[in-house]
């Protein structure tokens, strides 16, 4: 049984997906990166190896996310792709007519515009927490509500309040004010959902032609309050894939499959034994020019696996 692995290493979570040669998910894993991407990838691969069928043979590996180069060097990736490409490929796999992708993760968010299956425009937010899942996490924590309860409680809202969602600091003070005025928790929670959706569309969606079908991906897509807030704002149905939380990893696996079919060469995958290797990462500053690039390298033992980060490619391995 040929399987293709996709690894999506983000700042908050790491996702791994194993697909069969027909593009069906065999097994998937989702967990916290916890600031240790190497250990997170090893932990996920160990779990995937235990759950794969005994006759499964890895025929290709793709990596994506902010830690894609690190993960690619560790496992021997056949395809290393950015998140925009991976999410677009995954969405088109499940919904071939997709024209807009809304993706909100823990620390960043993005909008992707597709036409006829091709990415024609996109925008990313990596600097403002008010447009990410951490915005909801922080406020749910203030109200002593688990994030898994957030959506169902928000849907109970009868008269949502308007909360200033342009900044997490202002949102928190505004939320406290609304609590002191006596507004109910469901109304405040759904007001937060509307604030995040409004902030997302005003920042990332500004000037974009948002057409249905609209697919909502990322961990925040599990929040039913956010789904309804986007539906009300865009006046159309929002499609949420069954595996919305690991779509980046699924896209990376699909890209690896495509790469292996196109080249016909054997995979570079180093095997599941990588979960037991001791990896070390370090960096240094190149002083060859005024750019002063930070060069990152990863080693196992004395073996240099990869080096990246320069603008000119002088140090790349």
pLDDT the model gives residue 82: 93
Report the alpha-carbon distance of residue 157 to residue 170 in Å, rounded. 22
In whole angstroms, what is the distance from residue 5 CA to residue 151 CA? 31
Q: Are 70 and 57 in contact (CB under 8 A)?
A: no
Q: Is the peptide bond before 269 cis (omega within 30 degrees of 0)?
A: no
Indicate which CATH number applies to the domain containing 129: 3.30.420.40
Q: 178 with 217, same domain?
A: yes
Q: How many domains does the chain have?
A: 3
For residues 156 and 71, membership in a common domain is answered with no
Same domain, residue pair 157 and 232 = yes
Spatial separation of the C-alpha atoms in residues 56 and 40, rounded to whole Å: 22
Asked if residue 289 and residue 261 are part of one domain, the reply reads no
Same domain for 67 and 162, yes or no, is: no
Say yes or no: 151 and 188 in one domain: yes
Which pLDDT score is estimated for 166? 66
For 197, the token pair is: 């959706």
Same domain for 103 and 195: yes
- Is 67 found in the same domain as 189? no
User: Alpha helix locations (H) across the chain?
Assistant: 37-51, 68-75, 83-94, 133-142, 147-154, 168-180, 185-203, 224-234, 247-263
Helix (H, G, I), strand (E, B) or coil at 156: coil
Task: Say whether both 306 and 207 belong to one domain.
Answer: no
CB–CB of 108/92 below 8 Å?
no
Give the range of the structural domain holding residue 152, as residue numbers without chain letter: 96-240
Q: How far apart are CA 257 and CA 3, in angstroms?
A: 9
**Dist. CA 87–CA 4, nearest whole Å:** 16
Q: What is the DSSP letter of 277?
A: S
Q: Do residues 108 and 38 share a domain? A: no
Residues 119, 220 share a domain: yes
Q: Please check whether residue 277 is in contact with residue 300, taking contact to mean a CB–CB distance below 8 angstroms.
A: yes
Nearest to 45 by CA among 6, 82, 13: 6
* Number of neighbouring beta carbons within 10 Å of residue 46: 14
Q: Distance between CA atoms of 41 and 71, rounded to whole angstroms?
A: 7
Token pair belonging to 257: 């499959």
Distance CA 83, CA 222 (A): 19
Q: What are phi and psi of 264, to 5 degrees?
A: 75, 10
**In the chain, which stretches have pLDDT less than 50?**
none
Q: Are residues 145 and 235 in the same domain?
A: yes
Q: Please list the residues that pair with 32 across neighbouring strands.
A: 13
């Amino acid at each position: 049984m040929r399987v293709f692995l996709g690894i999506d290493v983000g700042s908050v979570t790491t996702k791994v997906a194993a697909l069969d040669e027909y593009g069906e998910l065999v097994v998937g894993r989702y967990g916290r990166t916890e600031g240790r991407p190497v250990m997170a990838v090893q932990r996920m691969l160990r779990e995937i190896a235990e759950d794969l069928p005994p006759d499964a043979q890895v025929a290709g590996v793709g990596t994506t996310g902010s830690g894609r180069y690190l993960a690619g060097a560790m496992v021997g990736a056949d395809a290393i792709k950015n998140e925009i490409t991976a999410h677009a490929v995954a969405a088109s796999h499940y919904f071939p007519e997709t024209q807009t992708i809304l993706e909100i993760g823990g620390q960043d968010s993005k909008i992707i515009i597709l036409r006829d299956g091709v990415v024609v425009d996109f925008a990313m937010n990596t600097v403002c927490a008010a447009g990410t899942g951490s915005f909801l996490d922080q406020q749910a924590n203030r109200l002593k509500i688990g994030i898994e309860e957030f959506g169902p409680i928000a849907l109970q809202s009868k008269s949502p309040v308007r909360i200033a969602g342009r900044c997490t600091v202002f949102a928190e003070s505004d939320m406290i004010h609304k609590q002191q005025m006596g507004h109910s928790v469901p109304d405040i929670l759904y007001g937060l959902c509307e604030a995040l959706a409004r902030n997302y569309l005003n920042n990332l969606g500004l000037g974009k032609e948002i057409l249905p079908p609209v697919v909502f991906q990322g961990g925040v897509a599990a929040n039913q309050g956010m789904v309804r807030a986007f539906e009300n704002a865009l006046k159309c149905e929002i499609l949420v894939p069954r595996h919305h939380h690991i779509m980046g990893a699924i896209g990376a696996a699909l890209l690896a499959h495509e790469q292996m079919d196109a080249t016909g060469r054997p995979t570079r995958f180093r095997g599941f034994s990588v979960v037991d290797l001791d990896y070390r990462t370090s960096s240094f500053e190149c002083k060859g020019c005024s750019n002063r690039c930070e060069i990152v390298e990863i080693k196992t033992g004395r073996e240099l696996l990869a080096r990246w980060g320069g603008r000119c490619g002088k140090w790349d391995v």
